[in-house]
Chains A and B, each alone.
Chain A
Amino acid sequence: MKSSENVMIKHGLLGLMLLSISSCIGTDVVDVELVDERLAIDTRLTSLAVGESYQFMADYFNNMGEEEMATVNWSSSNEGVISISAEGLAEAHMLGEATITAEYLGAEDMVTISASDQTVEMTARTGSFMGANNYSVNGDFNLLEENGQLLLTFESNFQASTGPGLFIFLSNSPNSITGALEVGAIQASRGEQVYPISLANAGLNTYDYVLVWCKPFGVLFGRGRFDN
């Protein structure tokens, strides 16, 4: 073999080895997916006892999904049944029904309440999963406020495709984790599991979706929307 060919092969082999060893971790710049601005009434009453009052609260999220301070405008569809102050304090005056609306910068949320003989507050929300990107995620879940915290529970019929680095998020987008709350790494690919969430991080109605998200690769495996 000619010496020049020998040198070429040796250098070529060395180059191949170096290519493997030196291939480094790069950086991907991700464009954050904008979401609709959202106003969420924190606590949903189903009924308010005549003569009693109730303090409504609402959270505002900008189109980056980030929570911002907001001066919410409160209104009632029937002030004679349930009135509400500018600060969100509602009072039931007579039997009937009224819709309470919260509004800020065009974003609004509303809840219809009965004025009756007792105050009933919704303490749980439910939903079902469906897969995304042809991954299998199914089963039911619920979010319950109990003992000063939220409990996100996947029912025994839950199952998900195995995947790398799957995490559970509460989100206001069906497709992204923009502004979402990371609940934690998935505990198991099937079966009942419970995720405690501090009320300091989310209220019962702060988010609309539960996402199963492959965090390292940034891929949505499945989503579920709260039915109520």
Chain B
Amino acid sequence: MTWAGGGWPIPKGKGYFKLSEYFIRSNGYFAPSGDVIDIATAGIYITSLYGEYGITDRFGVIAYVPFFSRATLNEQVDRNGNVLAQGDAVNSFGDTDISFKYGLITNKPIVVSATLTFGLPLGNDQGGETGVLQTGDGEFNTMIALEASRGINGGKGWINTLVGYNNRINNFSDEFRWGLEIGHKFGKKWSGGIKFYSVNSLNNGSDFETPSNGIFSNNIEYLSFTPEVNYFIKENLGISASIGGALSAKRVLASPGYSLGVFMTL
């Protein structure tokens, strides 16, 4: 999710960088109906770098680089130890986002920026010996997003909002996305917030034609809720942790995802 700065474009020469580990492991899956069904336990582990850097006071570049992604699938055995299905795993580079953010309204109580994101299919969409594990969806996508933000409580808190349109190719459905984040600083060392993020399929693709072999690809939908806490070791260095789960969803794993990271600012 590339909206760490919200509607505020990062100033010229300034930057925000974060090394994160995200992981989710689940034996539940939100079926296309929205009901949770049992599946073989699947795991996704992503080690990523996120960076945001200001080229000018209004224009910045953002990169999300999952340089090590691992997907696992448990083997299935019956009570007698007979193997019903083999386990599997794949390690690879993951799908990468490159974004360009421009400040449309700055120096106002409510600031607005626009972000153009290119989703590069650098991951593996048919990984492992089974060919069913994914560290990417195999399609190039382009997303345009508008973010509006406002400081609250004398700048100690913030509200970020986002709306976006994700254009996908190869018969994948396009997506409408929205997000809401409310955060606040607590003393000099702590800050925290809660995020809501929603992905909604426009269902204008084709389930019968997508080239991808995965169940994590087309017509994904979810509304997630993610509390996050940050601890500042010093002014420009800190650690963050979050737990995110879907309040409702289709075609995603049905367990919370955990994220731990170290961030620094320029």
- By a beta-carbon cutoff of 8 Å, the part of chain A in contact with chain B is 1, 5, 9, 12-13, 16-17, 19-21, 23-32, 133-136, 159-165, 189-190, 214-219
Give the chain B neighbours of A217 by CB distance below 8 A: 29, 39-40, 42, 73, 132, 215
- B208–A27 contact, CB under 8 A? no
Given contacts A19-B45, A133-B37, A165-B132, contact A30 B207 (CB under 8 A): no
Q: Report the Cα distance A216→B213, complex, angstroms.
A: 12
- A136–B207 contact, CB under 8 A? yes
Give the chain A neighbours of B85 by CB distance below 8 A: 215-216, 218
From A20, A26, A136, A159, contact of B74 by CB (8 A): A26
Q: Which of B103-111, B155-163, B182-190, B232-240 contacts A (4 or more CB under 8 A)?
A: B232-240
Q: Which of B1-9, B75-83, B116-124 contacts A (4 or more CB under 8 A)?
A: B75-83
Give the chain A neighbours of B84 by CB distance below 8 A: 30, 218
Supply 19 further A-B pairs (C-beta < 8 A) apart from A32-B79, A189-B208.
A1-B233, A5-B234, A19-B21, A20-B21, A21-B91, A27-B87, A31-B79, A32-B78, A134-B31, A135-B32, A135-B207, A161-B207, A163-B215, A164-B132, A165-B213, A216-B40, A216-B132, A217-B39, A217-B132
From B21, B25, B27, contact of A16 by CB (8 A): B21
From A1, A26, A29, A136, contact of B208 by CB (8 A): A136
- B262–A219 contact, CB under 8 A? no
How far in angstroms is the closest Cβ of chain A from B263?
Answer: 11
- 14 residue pairs of the A-B complex, CB under 8 angstroms, read A5-B233, A13-B19, A13-B262, A19-B21, A23-B72, A29-B79, A134-B33, A134-B34, A136-B208, A163-B213, A190-B208, A216-B73, A218-B39, A218-B76
Identify the closest chain B residue to A131 (Cβ): B32
How far in angstroms is the closest Cβ of chain B from A14?
Answer: 11
Give the chain B neighbours of A162 by CB distance below 8 A: 207-213, 218
